[in-house]
Amino acid sequence: MILGSHVSMSSPKMLLGSAEEAVSYGANAMMIFTGAPQNTRRKKTTAMNIPAAQAYMKDHGPQYIMGHAPYIINLGNTKKPDKYDFAIEFMKAEVQRCDALGITALSFHPGAHVGAGVPAALKSIAHGLDEVLKTNPHVSIAIETMAGKGTEVGTSFEQLAQIIDLTPHNDQLSITFDTCHTNDAGYNIKQDFDGVLNKFDQIIGLDRLSMIHLNDSKNPQGSHKDRHENIGFGTLGFDTLNYICHHPQLENIPKIMETPFVTVDAESKKTVAPYKAEIQMLTTQQFNPQMKDELIAAAQK
């Protein structure tokens, strides 16, 4: 089982600190942003402590490094050409950073049509991705399944397949399957995951699946909300997510959790990461309904 979570990457340790955090959770995979997800300011890769991290990971792990592009990149925006051109140039540099960091797949939110309509956005995204992929990166750009809030696109397997088909240089295009997003988009993850997976295979192909974002959802199927919940505490539930985590067809696919930190003190805004406890639950296949309470109690000692 390949299982991990989002981890931070910050000074001074940078990638080394990310690997140490993942190991502290008992993870054999991790996902990082190359910089803050809300902006496009990035350090040079020479400042990311890559050699020290590689030496550490050789002895301790994790074995899989996944990436996530910043949220603000929107290749579906046909109304602002200056921002579109900037997004393409940023993504060209981003895939180079991923290659330097050893990231195998970069999860990418495809974007929103901002009023121009879905067909225009899909063509725009495909053109932008093709410009990036012409640089021949080693990393796969993994287009993420989206929940459909606002004017988001990529909310159906058909739309994702169309982006791939419209991208001439598409060998390095793949998919990130987010369980929360796909549920919120309307797919019956909870009651018929095998049916959903078969549909994905028929429309896109399992060979295009690079990673799974294993997240519970705060909202019911088809809500189009995109609000993650901790494993077993949402509408999908532990049994569903445990089934996906151990699914024989997904054995070699990294599963990455982006579940929310647990609030210890609302006034001070102190929080604690849930990932060690969630990995333990999924490894033992035993749900712990007291997980949040135990995390809070341990943090208050």
Annotated binding site: 68, 109, 144, 178, 181, 213, 226, 228, 258
d(CA 32, CA 9): 7
Instruction: For residue 21, give every residue at least 6 positions away whose Cβ sits within 8 Å of its Cβ, in sequence order, or none.
Output: 7, 8, 30
Rg (CA), the chain: 19
Helices (H) and strands (E) in the chain, counts: 10, 12
d(CA 151, CA 226): 13
d(CA 293, CA 188): 30
3-state SS assignment for residue 142: strand
Residue 296 burial (CB count, 10 A)? 16
d(CA 278, CA 142): 24
Annotated binding site for Zn(2+): 68, 109, 144, 178, 181, 213, 226, 228, 258
